[in-house]
Amino acid sequence: MGQTLYDKLWESHLVHVEPDGTALLYIDRHLVHEVTSAQAYEGLTIAGRKPWRVDSVVATADHNTPTTNWNEGMAGVRDPFAKLQIETLDKNMREFGAKVYFPFLDKRQGIVHVIGPEQGATLPGMTVVCGDSHTSTHGAFGCLAHGIGTSEVEHVLATQCLVTKKMKNMRVSVEGALPAGVSAKDVVLAIIGKIGIGGGIGYAIEFAGSTIRAMSMEGRMTVCNMAIEAGARAGMVAVDDTTVDYVRGRPFAPKAPLWDSAVAYWRMLKSDPDAKFDREVTLAAAEIKPHVTWGTAPDMVVAVDDAVPDPDREKDATRREGMERALTYMGLKPRTRMTDIRLDKIFIGSCTNSRIEDLRAAAAVVKGRRIASNIRLAMVVPGSGMVKAQAEKEGLDKVFRDAGFEWREPGCSMCLGMNPDKLDAGERCASTSNRNFEGRQGVGGRTHLVSPAMAAAAAIAGHFVDIRSWR
């Protein structure tokens, strides 16, 4: 019987399997950031252990770094706890080493899931882990990539392996051409809406079909990034020309004469035609509309031309209570048209949507316009210093600034509100990030997840608009 892409990646990294199926899986790339690594390095020190292979480590500070005041250097980090975490990572990098470290203020610094691919540090066929659940992003390259906890960070540092068990296979196929105005973000929100936030638990998801094939690497990363929001630790896409073309020439990508043999191997990284999946889900691209979340979980999502759902129509009691609770938190009434929801803040950024293609899509919408008077803050946070430089080369920073947006330094920023970029209680935000959980962007903050173009249009109009009718 044929193998799935996941089967192939799993098998090629097996070091040892116990009779109960518990396996030692070899890890090629270990991405490290400041928030989930300090305790792991401390654990190594306490036990008198050394990293197994420092060359596997690529590190950066991204989660709590500020997006302003960079001209002040480290003094620009006002929060003493954030400063301690950043300095602790600096110290650990000096002490333990890494293949490469992009510290705070470095021009190649950025969100760990943006810089890995950008630098060619994420390569097809790798196992990639990081103490961050959005590590699934790297699956876009035909990698087995998933988030781990801090104890596992320590375990991978010490042994180059993870103790794990094989997941089941799910294939989500999206077929056909996407309608104008519908992006990769809308595709993945539609998928999450369909299978639910727990639907992917226990599975590795392969995203397939002509719609995914037609996507750029940026689009595929957006889709894989949010596999975890459907409960699946890992999402992935088979390798094709788009993958190879993206990787070619990146700083850490293989060079001649290795390049050709690497590519020959990478091209085998796809599911066999007769591979069996434990679960298959299909969506038609033509039916996907721009999506907006209304609640406090990513599967609480509707099309922009729809309305906030009515809990009274939900039969399941636990679900109904969850909906009522979400509506109270979000300050929304059932049956409100999504396009009638007014916003206070706009956030364009995060490991989901902060790459150059995302910024271009948002800039195209705002060009020559001004943000609405009810918008207190609209900010663009590029995913990395390299993305920022590219955007500035194209003049996108000017487009955003002229429209009234703030143009910030790279980092995770308001996606998780660990740095000063937060929502105040009751504030409503159109956000291109990945989670709309209670308090995610600040205590009492209300998050609506959308695509970059939808967030940009909402900034101009002051409320959600259907980007398909944007002129």
Partner 1 sequence: MDKFTVLESLVVPLDRANIDTDQIIPQKYLQSIKRTGFGDACFASWRRDPEFVLNQPRYKGARILLARKNFGIGSSREHAPWALRDYGFRAVIAPSFGEIFQNNSLKNGFLPVALTESEVDKLFYDAASFPGFKLIVDLGKQSVSTADGSKSFRFDIDPFRKHCLLNGLDEIGLTLGHADKIRAFEERRRAQYPWYY
Kindly identify the residues of this chain, within the stretch 245-284, that bind partner 1 according to CB under 8 A: 254, 258-259, 261-262, 265
C-alpha 423 chain-centroid distance: 20
SS3 state at 347: strand
Length of the chain, please? 471
In whole angstroms, give the CA distance from residue 158 to residue 44.
7
Q: Decide: 51 and 192 in contact? Cβ < 8 Å.
A: no
Could you list the beta-strand ranges (E) of 263-300. 279-284, 291-293
Q: Determine if 468 is a binding residue for partner 1 (CB under 8 A).
A: no
Taking the least distance from each CB to partner 1, the nearer of 38 and 105 is 38
In whole angstroms, give the CA distance from residue 262 to residue 79.
44
Query: Binding segment for partner 1 among 101-109, 130-138, 302-310, 378-386 (CB under 8 A)?
Result: 130-138
CB 255 to partner 1: min, Å:
9
Q: Name which of 48, 77, 42 is nearest 61 in CA terms.
A: 77
Query: Binding segment for partner 1 among 69-77, 119-127, 185-193, 458-466 (CB under 8 A)?
Result: 119-127
Exactly one of 3, 68, 133, 216 binds partner 1 (CB under 8 A); which one? 133
DSSP 354-412: -SHHHHHHHHHHHTT----TT-SEEEE--SBHHHHHHHHHTTHHHHHHHHT-EE--SSS
CB 185 to partner 1: min, Å:
18
Contacts of 427 (CB under 8 A, 6+ apart): 344, 345, 376, 442, 444, 445, 446
Which single residue is written with the structure tokens 């009434």?
333
CB 219 to partner 1: min, Å:
23
Taking the least distance from each CB to partner 1, the nearer of 183 and 419 is 419
Query: Binding segment for partner 1 among 176-184, 401-409, 430-438, 461-469 (CB under 8 A)?
Result: 430-438
Taking the least distance from each CB to partner 1, the nearer of 118 and 299 is 299
Query: Binding segment for partner 1 among 132-140, 307-315, 348-356, 386-394 (CB under 8 A)?
Result: 132-140
CB 96 to partner 1: min, Å:
15
CB 190 to partner 1: min, Å:
19
Exactly one of 52, 90, 175, 468 binds partner 1 (CB under 8 A); which one? 52
Between the alpha carbon of residue 206 and those of residues 47, 66, 168, 282, 395, the distances in Å are 39, 35, 11, 12, 36
- Give me the 176-215 binding string for partner 1, x by CB under 8 A, dash otherwise: ---------------------xx--xx-------------
Taking the least distance from each CB to partner 1, the nearer of 46 and 75 is 46
Taking the least distance from each CB to partner 1, the nearer of 432 and 441 is 441
Map the footprint of partner 1 across residues 285-324, applying CB under 8 A: 297, 318-319, 321-322
* Antiparallel, parallel or unpaired: β 428-431 and 161-164: unpaired
